[in-house]
Amino acid sequence: MIHRIIDRNKHTFNRYNAFRKKVFRELLPLESEIILYMLPWLLSVNHPRCPGYIEGLQRDFKVYNVDNEPEIRARESVFKRRFGVKDKRSLLKRRGDSHLIQGLYTIGSVGTVSQTRDSDCDIWVCYRKEDFDRSAWCHLRQKINLIKDWLDLNIKMPVFFFVTDVDDVKKGNFGPLDAESSGSAQKNVLKEEFYRTCIVICGKIPLWWVVFDPHTLIDYDAALSAIQNPLYGLYDFIDLGNLQKVARNEYFGAALWQLHKSLSRSLKSIIKMTLLKMQLDLPDQPLICHRLREEVLSKKNSDVFPDPMCFTMLSILDNYRRARQDEWIEFLKKCFYLRCELKPYDKRHLRKKQLAAELFKHYPIDIKERIRLGRFDSWNFDSQIELGNQLFRFLVKIYREICAEHAGIGSDIDKQDLKVLGRKILVSYQYKPTKISVLQKPAGKLNISDMIIHMDGERWSIFSNPEKSRLVISSKDIVYNIAFMVWNDLFNVNRIHMEPNSSSVTLKEIINLGNKMKRFFGKSNVSEIEFSYFLKKPTITKLLIVVSFEKSPWEKDVNDFAFVYKNTWGELFVKRFDTQQKLKSFIKTIGRDADRAETSFYVQRNSASYEKIIARTRKILSMLTET
């Protein structure tokens, strides 16, 4: 009978879910305690002393089954003490008119070997739209925002909430294209990741997870009818839709999305990109989430389960082995080791090491190499950049193979989404004259050593070591080099040195200009640019005019200009002019942008004619923009 199979699978899934929670708790004890237990409690209470309180709320909210969760009930007294609640009774009052939240679910690396100190926590808050009027929906968003404000101040792990209608998940509607959502670019690819990686924090179990039997083919709709039959009392499940296959064009959109995500953290995107390529090349093979579900539900009497990320990585490496691409196997397993921040002698995260050991039993890494990878934080600047370049080349290689081998599959993707993602990628990767190039960073921060500024003839070079064997940037324009350091977050005033040279440029002025650029422009981060900007032509938003930077401070001539400007696409440019005529020609090309842009000036502080030069430059600029 279907209901017996479902009930049996439910017990196995609950053990698996508890196992995933244990991994989360071992990796982040404080954060996991708050996210797994306090969060559903806060969403289900409305007390003036508790985060998320809404004054005058007529109908409160309740996460499904929160009042029957023993782990939450056991901690409620601790929660109340933390917030100074004196009431000894439970705040989880049984009320029939509460707005029901169907469930809270994590998606992604949380509770897996891929969870690291820099991981964030994406949480789906699932509700039924027909159960919420406009007022209730607004109150739910208000409550979540208040709780998020408290989480941002009290835990290190960034938490992001996605308030999602159950029917939208079933249809694969995950919102418009923006910084956190991929619009039409993913759809069921995102649902596959959800089923493969989710943890039920509190609430109903996704029905898809229990519709499986090794001996009997179970129809999803028949299982849905069974749980809706009141005779069986199977109320603990949520129908987020079946998932048999993913449309090929969605893999294309998801690959483009991952290339976009790699702009800031390429090491996190490399595994997802290879997974997309594998599933696109093997459309008749079962999805990874199906294979993981079968593996998990077959462990009826075990409390140890496969890790979703290791399981996925093993499938990828097996595929490369079948294709006899051994060189990429070596590269990918090292990327995975780095991605998970594994360390061979780490005694704190034993469960994480045990789970990863199963993968590396099949694809071993030499102990010397594991030690080297485990010390990634101490790699020198050049080694980190070289890895970033390797990751970039590999990502582009996969994307080009997808485009070449599966031509036309992207034709059904929303054209607007495709245009936005394509332009965002170009911002980081495309060469343009006078544009500041962006370094390929494998992870967050780079290991910046001392920056040595060296002048040889008319050329300025910056090296990352005193021996000058590691070149960072070289050009004839020192202003360009300073902008490069600032834009790539390499500018550290305590680690910049300049060798003696014949120019009039001083280290003090370099530091002053760099600090000015840092305050005015910030650093490159195309992922933060609003997607709507990429539907229009780029326009200049900020303009810094550097006057006579390389001239003697006693020079009164105003014919040396460096225009450093940032546009709406998040690109930074440096243009140099040695005559007012060339400056005028440039101003004509940018039109009214220069007039509308936020404008600032930089002149050497020790210049004898500081105020006069700025006044003259303002006058020149105003005359040019008026013509």
pLDDT in tens, 54-107: 998 989 999 999 999 999 999 999 999 999 999 889 998 766 789 999 999 999
The pLDDT, as a whole number, for residue 610 is 54
Please, which pLDDT band fits residue 316 given cuts at 50, 70 and 90? very high
pLDDT in tens, 452-491: 999 988 899 999 888 888 889 999 999 999 999 999 999 9
Residue scoring higher pLDDT (181 or 39): 39
pLDDT at 443 over 60: yes
pLDDT at 409 over 90: no
pLDDT in tens, 349-378: 888 989 999 899 999 999 999 999 999 888
**Residue percentage of the chain with pLDDT more than 90:** 50
The pLDDT, as a whole number, for residue 12 is 95
- The arithmetic mean of pLDDT across residues 598-607, rounded, is 76
pLDDT in tens, 395-408: 888 877 877 776 66
The pLDDT, as a whole number, for residue 306 is 94
pLDDT at 434 over 60: yes
The pLDDT, as a whole number, for residue 626 is 54
- The arithmetic mean of pLDDT across residues 513-523, rounded, is 95
- The arithmetic mean of pLDDT across residues 98-123, rounded, is 94
CA within 13 Å, CB half, 336: 29
Contact 93, 47 (CB under 8 A): no
- The arithmetic mean of pLDDT across residues 609-620, rounded, is 60
Beta strands (DSSP E) in 168-293 are: 199-203, 205-206, 237-238
Distance CA 559, CA 95 (A): 76
Mean pLDDT of the chain: 86
- The arithmetic mean of pLDDT across residues 613-618, rounded, is 62
The pLDDT, as a whole number, for residue 210 is 95
Instruction: Report the interhelical angle of 308-322 vs 188-197 (nearest 10°).
Output: 120
Structure letter (DSSP) for residue 182: B
pLDDT at 612 over 80: no
- The arithmetic mean of pLDDT across residues 407-418, rounded, is 59
User: What is the pTM assigned to this prediction?
Assistant: 0.83
pLDDT in tens, 127-184: 999 999 999 999 999 999 999 999 999 999 999 999 999 999 998 887 655 545 554 5
Distance CA 168, CA 175 (A): 9
Q: Under 8 Å CB-to-CB from 605, ≥6 apart: which residues?
A: 509, 512
- The arithmetic mean of pLDDT across residues 412-434, rounded, is 70
- The arithmetic mean of pLDDT across residues 585-597, rounded, is 73
The pLDDT, as a whole number, for residue 130 is 92
Question: For residue 552, which amino acid is it?
Answer: S
pLDDT at 392 over 90: no
The pLDDT, as a whole number, for residue 596 is 81
Q: Under 8 Å CB-to-CB from 250, ≥6 apart: which residues?
A: 185, 186, 187, 188, 189
Please, which pLDDT band fits residue 337 given cuts at 50, 70 and 90? very high
Question: For residue 281, which amino acid is it?
Answer: D
Q: Structural domain boundaries of the chain? A: 2-243, 448-513, 525-627
Residue 528: both structure tokens together? 């933060």
